[in-house]
Structure 1
Amino acid sequence: MELVLLTTLALGIAVFLMLRPRSSPSPALSAAEPPHLVHLSEDGDHETDVVGESHYQDALIAICGGRTREGHELECQATLRLEPENPSDSNAVGVWIEGRKVGHLTRQLAATFSAVARRNGASEATCAALIVGGWDRGDSVGYFGVRLDLFNEEEMDGEPE
């Protein structure tokens, strides 16, 4: 329980720091497109689990190039996208890798992320990700899972990078 609360607090701080108003707008953004959140910095731990990956095994198999005897530990980049039209949760945040949906943030993290993103007029962010699992040893087959690396120690302490 304490880990969940700490993770939620840290994610909220990280998203706040990344979304806080800047003194000058990014020249890459046009008025017609919603702001894209900056890349959320990481500490290399990949401690935030994605949920619902069991529904997206085909996408994960395609991204990883299939199952292997030893499985995978594929480092990549994920995009977190708000899903306000999601019938299960208007705060839902989908996790996308290489243009394929691979799961969601937990409800608790999604609520924090969504609130901060909406306050800042943004709809998505990117972060480091790690795809794990996906072995096939003949007698056993492992599901793929995804873990995200959303923040670093300085952001947890409230200090920007």
Structure 2
Amino acid sequence: MGFFRELLRALSGDPFQPGYGRNRLPRDWWKIDGFVALKPASDRAPFTDVVGESHYQNVLADQVEGRFEEGVYWDVVVRIGIVDVPTDPSAIGLTIDGRGCGFIPRAEKDALLEELAALIPPDCHGAICKGQIVGGFRDGNEQASYGLRLLLRRPLEIKTR
């Protein structure tokens, strides 16, 4: 039955795959030279929200391999760093593979900056953490937007193994 469903989907030009998409990072995701990896929270812990990801839908979609009817839970490595935004000169920006993907909310920014300053040595390129792209499910004939959330243990801790 699955074969015929896939064949009909392919013939109709439907870009959605059945079910949901899942991507887990390899065990050594955090071993990137020059960066401090932050220890992730468990999947059940509260996530750190990201704002502005609606402006970066193309970046998030490029990370996900295809479209899925039920949406995705796609783990990614996210770089955290100060970016120059005219409306907020000390905004904390987030990037995936060097491309912008969102910001830390202003309400959490100052506390996070303080914690990062205490953890990151001056000769380091910055901090990385585990993130998760979610959403993108089929909503009628449309695709819902993707969202991004960070799996950060608070208070911040450096991942050592």
Coarse TM-score class (shorter-chain normalised): 0.5 to 0.7
Runs of 4+ in 1 over 3 A off after TM superposition: 115-123
Q: Find the aligned partners of 2:147 and 2:61 in 1 and give their Cα distance.
A: 11
Q: Which residue identity lines up with residue 49 of structure 1 in the other structure?
A: D
Q: Which residue of 2 aligns with 1:43?
A: 41
Q: Which residue of 2 aligns with 1:114?
A: 113
Q: Which residue of 1 aligns with 2:78?
A: 78
Aligned residues: 122
Aligned-pair distance for 1:97? 1.5
Mark the runs of 5 or more structure 2 residues left unpaired by the alignment: 1-32
SS at 1:109 equivalent:
helix
SS at 1:128 equivalent:
strand
Aligned-pair distance for 1:64? 0.7
Q: Percent identity?
A: 31
Mark the runs of 5 or more structure 1 residues left unpaired by the alignment: 1-27, 30-35
Q: Find the aligned partners of 2:39 and 2:117 in 1 and give their Cα distance.
A: 20
Q: Which residue of 2 aligns with 1:67?
A: 67
Q: Which has the larger share of helix?
A: 1
1:21-60 matches, cutoff 5 A: 36=35, 38-45=36-43, 47-60=47-60
* RMSD over equivalenced CA pairs, Å: 2.8
Rg (Cα) greater in structure: 2
SS at 1:65 equivalent:
coil
Aligned-pair distance for 1:137? 4.6
Q: TM-score, normalized by length of structure 1?
A: 0.63
Q: Which residue of 1 aligns with 2:134?
A: 132
Q: Which residue of 2 aligns with 1:102?
A: 101
Q: Which has the larger share of strand?
A: 2
Aligned-pair distance for 1:136? 2.7
Structure 1 115/90 Cα, relative in aligned 2: closer, same or farther at 3 Å?
farther
Q: TM-score, normalized by length of structure 2?
A: 0.63
Aligned-pair distance for 1:104? 0.4
SS at 2:90 equivalent:
coil
Q: Find the aligned partners of 1:65 and 1:42 in 2 and give their Cα distance.
A: 23
Q: Find the aligned partners of 2:90 and 2:112 in 1 and give their Cα distance.
A: 8
Aligned-pair distance for 1:65? 2.9
